[in-house]
């Protein structure tokens, strides 16, 4: 059975009627700029977020109090940057899961040579060329350990049971080594097979390995100057102003919002010798965050996430489902007895198409996301069918939010 999502007759027709708009396409929408004053206005509820899964219904939410967040949780110091290390390594002990390529065999010969063992005819298989990568957070010192990621870079089929030989991880493009990865791999999948079938779970050519820091990465210290910058994780001008006001309420004149993503903070004189304590006090302050009205759609999974500030103007829509069923029924044709004919297999294909739906539904203006959620659940529109409706509502101007497609 083949399901052709939300399928409608494609009419290349757009009509502008007064302040309203009628569009025909993947779904049918009749929109207007604002709700009719005569239409009933739902009682608003506190804003809530809304999400849906692929094939599930839109989740119901309940009213919740407004929550303030610590500055520590919504920002980071500009000096707290992550450094990416990477290197090429060799994994041994793979058996049949290893690579038989000439490049892997050459890497194995080089490994033996570096250990003063000369072997020209290296048996192919049992080893794999891999790429090792690691993100090092700020303030990690030599001797501390992290977990790195290992990925096969040749045609190896599985890293299960493998051991990574010591691999230097470097910062590019300067090429300086800062950490060493080595040891047994932790693989979250497997791959087994025979002559007629095989089974694979997750990604057997990707694994985790222990990495030890050997040299300190030199990041800029937040205490080396008279000011430091707080970088907002979710850039928003209103949130930046809220952070500035919260800091200045406790330490007058200590902060200044530079833009939607940066708040600059000045160290007060009384904390000149204990700047870490001042930063700690700043991070514990709580603020009310804000965000733009955004709808995020992932068409590959059929998921929709609607932010708390999203609103809709009134419009009417209709949609249909088209289900196509293809059945293959092979028929064997036998020749008559004692004849020269041959047995033939004849293919017989039966195709049926079923249309359903087609009713027009009113999407009334909703003052809050709670009201929008209740309306969508009442309409009973599946998430995958709702995606093209929201896309066309955005084109009409009836969706008062930014539409993000992933």
The CB-side HSE value for 43 (13 A sphere, CA atoms) comes to: 0
The Cα 141–Cα 148 span in angstroms is 16
Q: Looking at 61-128, list the stretches that DSSP marks H as alpha helix, in order from N- to C-terminal side.
A: 71-74, 102-114
Q: Reduced to 3 states, what is the DSSP secondary structure of residue 27?
A: coil
Q: Three-state DSSP class for 55?
A: coil
- The pLDDT-based confidence of 299 (bands split at 50, 70, 90) is confident
Name, of 90-99, 277-286, 321-330, the range with top average pLDDT: 277-286
Handedness of CA 43, 46, 47, 53 (dihedral sign): negative
Q: Judge whether residue 48 has pLDDT over 50.
A: no
Which structure tokens are listed for 245?
């006001």
Mean pLDDT of 391-405: 84
| For residue 316, pLDDT beyond 70 | yes
pTM above 0.75, yes or no: no
Extract the runs of DSSP E, i.e. beta strands, from 103-226: 127-136, 145-152, 163-171, 176-184, 186-187, 190-193, 198-201, 206-213
pLDDT band at 148 (very low <50, low <70, confident <90, very high): very high
What pLDDT is attached to residue 4?
41
Give the mean pLDDT of 104-127.
83
Would you place residue 246 in the very low, low, confident or very high pLDDT band (cuts 50, 70, 90)? very high
Beta carbons within 10 angstroms of residue 303's beta carbon: 19
Query: Residue 61 above 50 pLDDT?
Result: no
**pLDDT value, residue 315:** 73
Cis amide prior to 29 (ω within 30 degrees): no
Residue showing tokens 């030890």: 212
Q: Report the distance separating Cα 116 and Cα 132, nearest Å.
A: 25
Instruction: Give tens-digit pLDDT for 342-381.
Output: 777 666 666 565 555 556 666 666 656 667 677 777 777 7
Tell me how far CA of residue 127 lies from CA of 113, 123, 155, 165, in angstroms: 16, 10, 11, 11
Cα torsion through 66, 68, 74, 78, rounded to 10: 150
Tell me the pLDDT tens digit for each residue of 89-115. Answer: 999 999 888 888 888 888 888 888 888
For 214, 228, 249, 256, the CA distances from 252, given in Å and listed in that order, are 43, 16, 6, 11
What is the three-class DSSP state of 52? strand
Residue 14 has a CB neighbour count (10 Å cut-off) of 11
CB count, 10 Å around CB of 375?
A: 19
Three-state DSSP state, 126: coil
Run of H or E residues at 321: strand 315-328
Give the span between the Cα atoms of 192 and 346, in whole angstroms: 37
Q: Is 346 exposed, middle or buried (0-12, 13-18, 19+ CB in 10 A)?
A: exposed
User: Quick check: 119 pLDDT over 70?
Assistant: yes
Q: Provide the percentage of residues in the chain whose pLDDT is more than 90.
A: 33
SS3 state at 275: helix
Q: Residue 363 and residue 341: Cα distance in Å, rounded?
A: 66
- Return the ∠ at Cα 266 (arms to 261 and 272), rounded to 5°: 145
Q: How many CA atoms lie within 13 A of 182 on its CB side?
A: 9
């Amino acid at each position: 059975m083949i399901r052709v999502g939300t399928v409608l007759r494609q009419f290349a027709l757009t009509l502008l009627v007064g302040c309203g708009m009628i569009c025909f396409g993947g779904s049918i929408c009749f929109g207007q700029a604002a709700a009719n004053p005569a239409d009933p206005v739902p009682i608003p509820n506190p804003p809530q977020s809304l999400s849906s899964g692929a094939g599930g219904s839109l989740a119901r939410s309940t009213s919740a109090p407004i929550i303030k967040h610590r500055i520590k949780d919504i920002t980071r110091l500009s000096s707290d940057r992550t450094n990416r290390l990477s290197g090429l390594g060799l994994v041994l002990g793979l058996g049949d899961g290893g690579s038989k390529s000439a490049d892997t065999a050459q890497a194995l010969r080089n490994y033996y040579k570096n250990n003063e063992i000369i072997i020209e005819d290296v048996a192919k298989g049992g080893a794999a060329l891999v790429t090792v990568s690691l993100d090092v957070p700020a303030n990690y010192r030599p001797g501390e350990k992290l977990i790195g990621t290992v990925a096969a870079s040749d045609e190896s089929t599985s890293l299960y049971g493998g051991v990574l030989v010591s691999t230097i991880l470097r910062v590019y493009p300067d090429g300086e080594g800062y950490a060493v990865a080595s040891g047994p791999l932790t693989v979250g999948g497997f791959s087994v097979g025979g002559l007629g079938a095989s089974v694979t779970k997750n990604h057997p050519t990707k694994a985790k390995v222990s990495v030890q820091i050997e040299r300190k990465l030199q990041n800029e210290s937040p205490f080396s100057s008279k000011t430091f910058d707080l970088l907002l994780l979710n850039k928003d001008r209103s949130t930046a102003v809220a952070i500035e006001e919260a800091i200045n309420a406790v330490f007058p004149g200590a902060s200044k919002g530079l833009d939607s993503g940066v708040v600059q903070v000045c160290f007060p004189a009384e904390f000149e010798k204990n700047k870490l304590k001042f930063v700690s006090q700043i991070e514990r302050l709580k603020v009310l965050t804000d965000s733009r009205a955004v709808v995020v759609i992932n068409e590959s999974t059929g998921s929709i996430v609607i932010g708390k500030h999203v609103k809709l103007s009134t419009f009417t829509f209709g949609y249909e489902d088209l289900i196509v069923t293809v059945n293959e029924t092979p028929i064997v044709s036998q020749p008559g007895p004692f004849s020269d004919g041959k047995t033939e297999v004849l293919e017989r294909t039966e195709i049926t198409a079923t249309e359903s739906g087609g009713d027009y539904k009113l999407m009334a203006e909703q003052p809050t996301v709670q009201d929008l959620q209740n309306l969508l659940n009442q309409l009973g529109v599946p998430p995958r069918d709702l995606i093209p409706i929201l896309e066309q509502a955005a084109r009409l101007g009836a969706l008062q939010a930014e539409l993000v497609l992933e």
